[in-house]
Amino acid sequence: QSALTQPASVSESPGQSITISCTGTNSDVGGYNYVSWYQQHPGKAPKLIIYDVTKRPSGVSNRFSASKSGNTASLTISGLRAEDEADYYCSSYTISDTSNWVFGGGTKLTVL
């Protein structure tokens, strides 16, 4: 099972915007509109913040937005706040694994 590729870490100042990438292949990210993003604070369970590439679940701030181009999906967080500091994971439907699911390696966001 090959994980989707994410940058290990990103950092930005409060109030700014940041984009986290998630790169896969035509067998996952590029081939299907089933990319999700999860936020995980230390010691906590992941929280769904984006599904179906661009959709936000009820209750998730509109400061979180996402998109996809080719084999790369992106999560953008605008108006960064201290509470956004967390790990972010992408996931996608895939035909390259018998489970049909794959996660990214995760990105640590530091709000300076």
Which of 18, 38, 68, 77 touches another protein (CB under 8 A)? 38
The answer to whether residue 70 forms part of the interface with another protein (CB under 8 A) is no
Q: Is 48 in the site for another protein (CB under 8 A)?
A: yes
Buried b / exposed e across 10-32, counting CB within 10 Å, b at 16+?
bebeeeeebebbbbbbebbbbbb
Residues 6+ apart with CB under 8 A from 98: none
**Residue 15 vs 105, nearer CB to another protein:** 105
Contact yes or no for 88/37 (Cβ under 8 A): yes
| Interface contacts to another protein, rule CB under 8 A | 1, 3, 32, 34, 36, 38, 40, 45-48, 51-52, 57, 89, 91-93, 97-106
